[in-house]
Amino acid sequence: MSESKPQRAVGVRDVAALAGVSRQTVSRVLNDHPDVAPDTRARVVSAMEELGYRMNNAARALGTHRTRTIGVLASDALQYGPSRSMAAIEASAREAGYWITAAFADSGDEASVGQAIEHLRAQAVDGLIVFAPHARTLDVLDALRIGIPTVILHAAERADFSVDQRAGARLAVATLADAGHQRIAHLAGPADWLEAEGRATGFAQELAARGLPAGPVFSGDWSPRSGHGAAAEVIASGATAVFAANDQMALGLIGGLRAAGVDVPEQISIVGFDDVPEAAYAWPPLTTVRQDFEELARRAVARVIALGGSGATASDPVAVASSGSSGSSGSSGSSDPVAVASVASSDPIAPVLVVRDSVVPPAG
């Protein structure tokens, strides 16, 4: 209270003065530079605390050309998966000392995707995490030739990190087949969605692997509405079980089936995908496939930061385009001890089946 408070916010200048060192030394402490004597560092640190010093990111960015900010283009952020990913990404980023700036887009609208990306680029983010549910979204990305590290998520096999959609679908179909179902239908997501495609493929593969006839495939748009609307077709198809590409459609389908007087699971068994919170408490509790979005986010953030930190820039073709993975096609298992060592695996994450009550043996 005795001294007159400076009008301006405290800066390295002030800290340096109080600690009796140069601004540069303060800067070194700030950046954890190794070559600083322990006691000097201590003096600086206490000076910072005494003054309530807070770094000015704008100034830092001006010098370093880095903003420590990751842009997240969250398409369809209202869907369960993307919203989970978003929250998890923020957590991972914050832990790593990064900020998240978000942009939302309607993945079906290429223009909106382009705009969102431009918005993020204008913000000078160090890297981008893009949810690319559509093949079209990927095309937009390619066309833009973004000059910064980019990690693609939610794009099935075309993503840099993903939960194995095909494997999940096979798990779903397997549990149905194991229960004795022969006529299994698939209520798919929109055909142009990569994850929907992955699940549809897994559906077909598992059926084929078991020598079961290719089941009828109906398509929805992920919404409960579309699931509800598919009820009539499902009934007409004579299927005794259906694998819905997501829980929302599964739930809608159950609603539609019941409205038509068809019981679930007695007459028709159902398996969903996602394990949304309501799945466990629906009637009947829904058997479904759970994905680990937290792990997905963790890996994505680690990768963007690694790409940026390793000096990957527009001029570095390898890192920039964020190609799926450089060489998992390789010969020897873990022959490259250096490089990508600490970065998370880019192998697909295995989903897990959650067994509940929506599957029973067929009535026949």
Partner DNA sequence: TTGTAGGCGTTATCAG
Partner DNA sequence: CTGATAACGCCTACAA
Number of amino acids touching DNA (CB under 7 A): 30
3-class DSSP state of 297? helix
Q: Which does 50 bind (CB under 5 to 8 A by kind): a copy of itself, DNA, none?
A: none
Taking CB under 8 A as the binding criterion, the range among 34-42, 135-143, 274-282, 321-329 that sits at the site for a copy of itself is: 274-282
Contact positions with DNA (CB under 7 A) in 39-98: 40-41, 53, 55-56, 59-60, 62-64
Please tell me the distance from the alpha carbon of residue 39 to that of residue 314, in angstroms, as a whole number. Answer: 40
Residue 280 near DNA by CB under 7 A = no
Binder of a copy of itself out of 22, 42, 87, 350 (CB under 8 A): 87
Residue 143 near DNA by CB under 7 A = no
Strands (E), 50-158: 69-75, 99-105, 127-131, 150-153
Number of amino acids touching a copy of itself (CB under 8 A): 52
Q: Say if CB 312 and CB 320 are below 8 A apart.
A: yes
User: 182: which 2 tokens?
Assistant: 């022969």
Burial of 44 (0-12, 13-18, 19+ CB in 10 A): buried
Residue 37 near DNA by CB under 7 A = yes
For 292, list phi and psi in degrees, rounded to 5.
-95, 85
> What's the chain's length in residues?
364
Residue 13 near a copy of itself by CB under 8 A = no
Angle at 111 between CA 123 and CA 87, to 5 degrees: 55
Strands (E), 212-307: 217-219, 241-244, 269-271, 288-290
Q: Which does 32 bind (CB under 5 to 8 A by kind): DNA, a copy of itself, none?
A: none
User: 351: which 2 tokens?
Assistant: 């989903």
Residue 94 near a copy of itself by CB under 8 A = yes
For 95, list phi and psi in degrees, rounded to 5.
-60, -35
Residue 267 near a copy of itself by CB under 8 A = no
Q: Which does 36 bind (CB under 5 to 8 A by kind): DNA, a copy of itself, none?
A: DNA
Contact flags string 216-245 toward a copy of itself, x per CB under 8 A:
-------xxx-xx-----------------
Residue 252 near a copy of itself by CB under 8 A = yes
DSSP state of 341: G
For 354, list phi and psi in degrees, rounded to 5.
-115, 110
Q: Which residues contact 292 (CB under 8 A, 6 or more apart)?
A: 163, 349, 351
Residue 133 near a copy of itself by CB under 8 A = no
Residue 150 near DNA by CB under 7 A = no
Binder of DNA out of 34, 52, 97, 238 (CB under 7 A): 34
For 72, list phi and psi in degrees, rounded to 5.
-120, 120
Question: For binding to a copy of itself (CB under 8 A), which residues are involved?
Answer: 54-59, 61-62, 67, 69, 77-78, 83-84, 86-87, 90-91, 94, 99-104, 116, 119, 121-124, 223-225, 227-228, 248, 251-252, 254-256, 258-259, 277-278, 280-285
Question: For binding to DNA (CB under 7 A), which residues are involved?
Answer: 8-9, 11-13, 20-28, 30-31, 34-37, 40-41, 53, 55-56, 59-60, 62-64
